[in-house]
Amino acid sequence: MKKFLASLILVAAALLATVTNLNFAKAEASTDLTTEQINAIKKNCAIIKDNLKSIQYEDSRVRVHLGRYYDTVQSNFITPLNIALIGNNISNINLIENQTNFVTARSKFASDYIAYQKSLEELVSLDCTIEPVKFYNKLVSVREKRAKVANDTTKLRELTEKQVNLVTKLKEVL
Instruction: Confirm whether 77 is domain-assigned.
Output: yes
Instruction: Confirm whether 126 is domain-assigned.
Output: yes
End-to-end CA distance of the chain: 10
Helices (H), 78-131: 79-87, 93-125
Classify residue 76 by its DSSP letter. Answer: I
pLDDT tens-digit profile of 45-86? 999 999 999 999 999 999 999 999 999 999 999 999 999 999
Instruction: Confirm whether 102 is domain-assigned.
Output: yes
The count of structural domains within the chain is 1
pLDDT tens-digit profile of 106-146? 999 999 999 999 999 999 999 999 999 999 999 999 999 99
Are residues 98 and 162 in contact, defined by beta-carbon separation less than 8 angstroms? yes
Contacts of 29 (CB under 8 A, 6+ apart): 140
How far apart are alpha carbons 32 and 62 in whole angstroms?
A: 33
Instruction: Confirm whether 54 is domain-assigned.
Output: yes
How far apart are alpha carbons 90 and 142 in whole angstroms?
A: 45
Instruction: Confirm whether 24 is domain-assigned.
Output: no
Q: pTM above 0.75?
A: yes
Range of the domain at 149: 2-17+35-173
Instruction: Confirm whether 144 is domain-assigned.
Output: yes
Instruction: Confirm whether 25 is domain-assigned.
Output: no
Instruction: Confirm whether 163 is domain-assigned.
Output: yes
